[in-house]
A = this chain, B = another copy of it.
Amino acid sequence: MAKLIEPKVLKGFRDFLPEQEIERRELMAELEETYKSFGFVPIDTPVLEYTEVLLGKGGGETDKQVYHFEDHGKRDVAMRFDLTVPFARYMAAHRHELYLPFKRYHINKVWRGENTQKGRYREFVQCDFDIVGVDSASSDFEILLMMRASMQNLGVKKCTVHFSHRGIFNRFLENLGIMDKSVEILRTVDKLAKIGRDEVIRLLTELADGDKAEKIVSFIEMKDSFEATLANMSELAGGAEADTERLEQIWAAIKDMGLEDNFVLNPSITRGLDYYTGLVYETFLDDLPSIGSVCSGGRYNNLAGLYTKEELPGVGASVGLDRLLAALDELGQSSRKKSYTEVLIFQMDDSLMGHYHKMAGIIREAGISCEVYPVNKKLGAQFKFAEAKEIPFGIICGSDEKAAGTVNLKNLASRENHEGISLEKAIEVLKA
């Protein structure tokens, strides 16, 4: 006999048991419903693309993590590492088949061969939504509203979207004359929540003089109100401009909708080294801020510059599904449903096999998920099966019941019985 192969999976990759996959699929379906309700449309792109097309400029940190190889036709191909680069390529390729502004969502897996410590996976799902072809306060605001609606519809009790404007931050650095150190400064500022104010000042003092470090920290700290925070940012950046006006427009709309409790201007949000140029935002769960942002994004001024001369400004965000699942789990808000089955028809007579499946069909027609236990076996085994799948109801029917045109309906949790009732009556009970 041949040696058995160990059924192992790669590090950083995961199998999903039914209860995990049910929850994951329900969250994705809920997100999709939210995106659809805002007028977004789905697209899909290949998992494999030409490496040159995906990596373009090349040389970055991400590139080293990309799974790429030579295919059967000697082409250098790569697995997508995010959904943004394929979307940029897609917009350039299909521009003439689409209209602008274009609002798309894309929920799918991406792959990165990064270190797997601390809940990081090499295969994970991204849930992206973007509006491209327009630079307006309304589209910025719509993405903010969607971030909130996504969390609400997923059952997150309370979350806060922190937003800022990368353009104002850049003006501020220019004003201070330290734009050349922006990369290091952004990296440091990004750590404020993690390492605290004093440590940030210490690190910044290594990059600029102490006075400037103090100014940077003053810039990124929230004041008592939106107005005070914005006034401080504006002053340090050299005065009001279109970027500060954009924040005012958005805040006015937030107030019109009475959502001041859900959004906060937080100048320490910069989205680090990302390609954002305008509004930037991150979403934190009020009950579990330590898990980090579960939905982040921002505005960029040119999505597809690698592939087309047409400038496509856009704004978008992405829900971190795995982080959110971990958060819901930690908050005890996981669903952990074992199956969808609402009623199990017990199989106790081979000659009634057709009858069992016929009843199952009638029950399904009524919109109730139903299955026939797949073989005539001891009742104990059938009850165990129902328990493993957490099926709430059972239907028991032998040849006597068939002859009488009845069934016995059993509530498998309470053990309550409805004996000798018609199938129609049983369906009524199941629907109640």
A residues within 8 Å of B by Cβ?
2, 4-11, 13-18, 21-22, 24-25, 36-39, 41-50, 52-53, 56-57, 64-65, 67, 69-73, 75, 77, 79, 89-90, 92-94, 97-99, 101, 103-104, 109, 111, 113, 122-123, 131, 134, 136-139, 141-142, 145, 149, 249, 252-257, 304, 306-309, 338-341, 344, 347, 350, 353-358, 360-361, 364, 369-376, 384-385, 388-389, 391
Specify which of B257, B360, B374 is in contact with A139 (CB 8 Å cutoff): B374
B residues near A53, Cβ cutoff 8 Å: 5-8
B389 and A15 contacting across the interface, CB-CB below 8 Å: no
B residues near A358, Cβ cutoff 8 Å: 256-257
A49 and B142 contacting across the interface, CB-CB below 8 Å: no
Q: List 6 A-B contacts (CB under 8 A).
A: A5-B52, A13-B49, A21-B44, A47-B123, A99-B385, A103-B374
A67 and B48 contacting across the interface, CB-CB below 8 Å: yes
Give the residue name and chain of the B residue nearest to A42 (CB). Answer: B21
A375 and B39 contacting across the interface, CB-CB below 8 Å: no
Determine how close the nearest CB of chain B comes to the CB of A215; give it in whole angstroms: 33
Determine how close the nearest CB of chain B comes to the CB of A195; give it in whole angstroms: 30
B45 and A47 contacting across the interface, CB-CB below 8 Å: no
Give the residue name and chain of the B residue nearest to A3 (CB). Answer: B306
Contacts known (A39-B371, A71-B67, A99-B384); A47 close to B7, Cβ less than 8 A = no
B354 and A10 contacting across the interface, CB-CB below 8 Å: no
A43 and B17 contacting across the interface, CB-CB below 8 Å: yes
A39 and B370 contacting across the interface, CB-CB below 8 Å: yes
A249 and B46 contacting across the interface, CB-CB below 8 Å: no
A18 and B42 contacting across the interface, CB-CB below 8 Å: yes
B residues near A6, Cβ cutoff 8 Å: 53, 307
Beyond contacts A103-B371, A138-B356: 8 other A-B pairs, Cβ-Cβ < 8 A, are: A9-B49, A16-B42, A21-B42, A22-B42, A37-B364, A39-B369, A47-B111, A48-B111
B residues near A141, Cβ cutoff 8 Å: 353, 357
Complex formed: what's the CA distance from A282 to B85 in Å? 40
Number of copies: 2
B residues near A11, Cβ cutoff 8 Å: 73
Determine how close the nearest CB of chain B comes to the CB of A77; give it in whole angstroms: 6
Determine how close the nearest CB of chain B comes to the CB of A370; give it in whole angstroms: 7
Give the residue name and chain of the B residue nearest to A29 (CB). Answer: B29
B306 and A4 contacting across the interface, CB-CB below 8 Å: yes
A134 and B353 contacting across the interface, CB-CB below 8 Å: no
Complex formed: what's the CA distance from A340 to B250 in Å? 26
Complex formed: what's the CA distance from A357 to B338 in Å? 39
A17 and B94 contacting across the interface, CB-CB below 8 Å: yes
Determine how close the nearest CB of chain B comes to the CB of A29; give it in whole angstroms: 8
Give the residue name and chain of the B residue nearest to A32 (CB). Answer: B25
Specify which of B24, B90, B347 is in contact with A44 (CB 8 Å cutoff): B24
Determine how close the nearest CB of chain B comes to the CB of A142; give it in whole angstroms: 7
B15 and A41 contacting across the interface, CB-CB below 8 Å: no
B69 and A42 contacting across the interface, CB-CB below 8 Å: no
B15 and A43 contacting across the interface, CB-CB below 8 Å: yes
Determine how close the nearest CB of chain B comes to the CB of A337; give it in whole angstroms: 9
A42 and B25 contacting across the interface, CB-CB below 8 Å: yes
Give the residue name and chain of the B residue nearest to A114 (CB). Answer: B72
Give the residue name and chain of the B residue nearest to A88 (CB). Answer: B7
Specify which of B7, B43, B389 is in contact with A16 (CB 8 Å cutoff): B43
Determine how close the nearest CB of chain B comes to the CB of A279; give it in whole angstroms: 14
Complex formed: what's the CA distance from A256 to B149 in Å? 50
